[in-house]
Structure 1
């Protein structure tokens, strides 16, 4: 499986509930910039947290890539979900090329668990941070980190 992990773009600092925070204009710009990194990558599916900012991020990527398939909302990708459970859910998927749009601290812990076999590794995932993992099967310690990038690295493009 090739797993792309994208943290949502910058979101407004407050809303009635955390799950309702929306992307800012800067967040939309960050996401469009990182979506450009996915052009030419044949994604089979986009999975996204149910939180508004993740849904907006996933939709911006879907539009940028002109994907016809709808975003699939998964309830196991919210900020404080268990990265081991996320790997288990990913292992149940039949798709070979997956984009997961989620949140910190889940995304950082998921990268650490998948690559290092534990959750203590440090993988910087600022807003709209994007990582690419290759693994035969989603499981702890089985992934090879192919790319890790952020909008700050691509601002002048």
Structure 2
């Protein structure tokens, strides 16, 4: 199984009313989402499932991919790493999955599946952390970790 974690792109500060889920992407965030989304669209497997947090900044980020996606409450800001891992079907699901979500949750998902222990690993805004789990040894490995600046240089 492949687990691709994509952190939402840069978003506006929280509004005065405190509704964190309503934060929209900045113009820089829109550019980064478009850059990473175009690259992901080229390299993701055709059968990749795409799940996103319901937060506005995540749905705006995933729309840059140009593929069908599913909004999953389990990926929201109030979730936890275990709920996200379960929603993905890690490690046994047959299809790869792309998750668009938040920090520190995505970093905790990455550390949990790679080390068996939840840690606060950082993933840059609009960054991708690609994990693959293949083979009889049952040990996942890191396929790619990149931010939007490096992804713009990948072909």
Moved over 2 A (4+): 92-95, 152-157
Q: CA RMSD in A?
A: 2.2
Aligned length: 146
What TM-score comes out, normalization by structure 2 length?
0.83
Structure 2 partner of 1:58: 62
Give 3-state SS (helix, strand or coil) of 1:76's partner.
helix
Does residue 6 of the first structure (1) align with residue 10 of the second (2)? no
Structure 2 partner of 1:98: 97
Query: Could you tell me which of 123, 131, 152 is aligned with 2:149?
Result: 152
Structure 1 partner of 2:43: 40
Task: Return the alpha-carbon distance in structure 1 between the equivalents of residues 111 and 49 of structure 2.
Answer: 23
Structure 2 partner of 1:116: 115
Offset from partner CA, 1:6-38 (integer Å, 9 cap, x none): 000000012241000000110011111212332
Structure 2 partner of 1:78: 76
Structure 2 partner of 1:21: 23
- Residue pair 2:107, 2:119 contacting (<8 A) in 1 also: no
Task: Return the alpha-carbon distance in structure 1 between the equivalents of residues 4 and 62 of structure 2.
Answer: 12
- Residue pair 1:8, 1:128 contacting (<8 A) in 2 also: yes
- Residue pair 2:38, 2:64 contacting (<8 A) in 1 also: no
User: Is there any run of 5+ residues in structure 1 with no aligned partner, and where?
Assistant: none
Task: Return the alpha-carbon distance in structure 1 between the equivalents of residues 69 and 152 of structure 2.
Answer: 27
Q: CA deviation at 1:152?
A: 3.0
What TM-score comes out, normalization by structure 1 length?
0.82
